[in-house]
A and B are shown apart, each in its own frame.
Chain A
């Protein structure tokens, strides 16, 4: 019965103090704006990668290296990474807040969430800006074919 799925609270709630912060306002606004931007960025990304030219067949190590040689695509991918990660992290934050009943569970899950997001954002940003397809002095056997071609 539905009685067991939504247990009745036994005690009246003590209302938490008002935070007097604008954080939730900006978080709400960010979700809407980043959502709209992500639609453009992601469909642009899919169009260029999967449709233009040889389409999906053209994607390889060299294709990615070529894209990230241009500052335009560096910024495009950087925006996509940051917006998608923050959008997703904020979404999961609200889900954690909506579904956890114990304060401890909520804090623990949020620590895991923020750590994971921070690692992905930092690592992703690092890769976009420091990507070096043909590092100098590397073993030629390990390099992509186009590094030795020229």
Chain B
């Protein structure tokens, strides 16, 4: 590869052995210049977030999180963002990339238009704390309100609570939620006043409402049969589009709505 000397000396943030017939020789991962516009906010100084531009050399196998790491570790150590597992499971690094809510650790640079600056901001609708970090408390508050735990009646069985494969399948989709808040913070109704329970809380209610082992469905339907509950959904599908786990969020909300209607009539 005839890359510039800087690119060949720098260690790629992630290395994947690409077979010769796919991407050239070993270690010869295509590199390119990327411009990042990252929303910076220091609560002690700024009244509003502002954008700062960073130019970095990235590799074809890198993700947005690798670029954030590179900026933090090599250019500006004051850049703050959350990440934990960095592999799309913990749900810490949901950010707004080019106006769409994504997990930084699951968004590959090769899938973005690297000719234009890549805009990274904190997710919207939650109180901003610093740079890309928001206060998740309002999000978890509505999550707690829908009682995301098994509620049973009657004596405890002496063995495990068995469930048929069909009964398990009924709520399989909504078990995938990692509580990253990408859906709730993409919802325009949530942006207005933050009173709406939000898609994530309803998805997690769905997970228990349709669980055959759970007896607390009525309690949860009561909580969500509220002016800030399922009736506030405008089916804009922003949540379904934003979900990094591919959960059919809007469908789950509609199913909870149907359950409330069936109970009422």
**Residue ranges of A at the interface with B (Cβ–Cβ < 8 Å):** 1-4, 6-13, 15-16, 18-25, 27-29, 94, 97-101
Contact = CB atoms under 8 A, between A and B. Distances in A.
Nearest to B223: A18
Contacts of A15: 141-142, 145, 195, 228
A2 B227 contact: no
17 contacts: A2-B96, A2-B119, A2-B121, A3-B121, A8-B122, A8-B125, A9-B194, A13-B138, A15-B195, A24-B225, A25-B225, A25-B231, A25-B264, A28-B231, A29-B261, A98-B188, A98-B189
Contact of A6 (B124, B189, B231): B124
B125 A23 contact: no
A16 B228 contact: yes
Interface residues of B, number: 41
A9 B127 contact: yes
A23 B264 CA distance: 12
Interface string B246-265: 00000000000100110010
Given A13-B195, A18-B223, A101-B192, A3 B51 contact: yes
Contacts of A11: 127
A86 to B, nearest CB: 16
A12 B135 contact: yes
A6 B191 contact: yes
The 3 tightest CB contacts between A and B, nearest first, are A8-B128, A24-B231, A13-B194
Interface of B: 39, 48-49, 51, 96, 99, 119, 121-122, 124-128, 134-135, 137-138, 141-142, 145, 188-189, 191-195, 223, 225-229, 231-232, 234, 257, 260-261, 264
Give the dominant DSSP class at B's interface: mixed
A12 B127 contact: yes
A101 B124 contact: no
B187 to A, nearest CB: 11
Contacts of A20: 226
A99 B128 CA distance: 21
Contacts of B99: 2
B226 A18 contact: yes
A23 B227 contact: yes
A149 B193 CA distance: 64
Contact of A3 (B48, B228, B257): B48
Contacts of B231: 24-25, 27-28
A134 B263 CA distance: 53
A10 B121 contact: no
A98 B135 CA distance: 22
Contacts of A100: 192
Contacts of A13: 138, 193-195
